Structure 1
Amino acid sequence: MLTSIFVLSPVAADPRRGEQNEARQDMRAGKVKPLREIEANIVPRMRGMQYLGPEYDPTAQVYRLKFIDRDRVIFVDVDGRTGAVLRQR
């Protein structure tokens, strides 16, 4: 009987770590603004909402910041290069 053992790397086990690493690499390469700068501009605008955290799309170089307003989740997509809000839904 043949048994296979698969070991997942920490990045494979947690896709968010992969996002974080890619965002960090893009920021260090000067491709995108630091997440903290993006958050400093966006979070204060979302008064009364709880900030749930970011996601990062390395292909589009877009941060998605997630907020909750009572019973509704709000997504704010931000261009990582310019810091401009692309979409809020």
Structure 2
Amino acid sequence: MIRTLTFSLLSGLLLAAAAPADARGDRDQRHLREAAAQGQVVPLGKLIADVRSRPPYSEMSFLGGPQFDAERMIYKLKFMDGSQVVVVYVDARTGRIVGRNP
């Protein structure tokens, strides 16, 4: 009985914790769609192709799954350079690379 109750409480807490992240992701996607419809951002496919055409990224594998930060209007793109993941930050409005890690 206690085991079932503990499991139920933990499940509820996990679901509650996941909800804000899902809501934020939905809000970011909605903001991105609105900005794209108004021509305020570079289309994602063009943006990825542009970055992939530039050295040193042209020599790396694109890992997919881009992330978008609606507040900063920045895409986070992941590439694989040998055995190291390289994260590239790209301004969604201009397509300009604004950062990299590492």
Q: Could you say whether these structures have the same fold, taking a TM-score greater than 0.5 normalized by the shorter chain as the test?
A: yes
Amino-acid identity (%): 32
Q: Quick one: distance in 1 between partners of 2:70 and 2:51?
A: 19
Of structures 1 and 2, the one with the larger relative CO (CA 8 A, separation 6+) is: 1
Superposed counterparts of 1:1-89, under 5 Å? 12=22, 15=25, 18=26, 19-45=28-54, 46-53=57-64, 54-89=66-101
Higher helix share: 2
Shift in Å, 1:29: 2.4
- After TM superposition, the score normalised by the length of structure 1 is 0.72
Moved over 6 A (4+): none
Higher strand share: 1
Shift in Å, 1:48: 2.5
- After TM superposition, the score normalised by the length of structure 2 is 0.64
Shift in Å, 1:40: 1.6
CA RMSD of aligned residues (A): 2.9
How many residues are paired up? 84
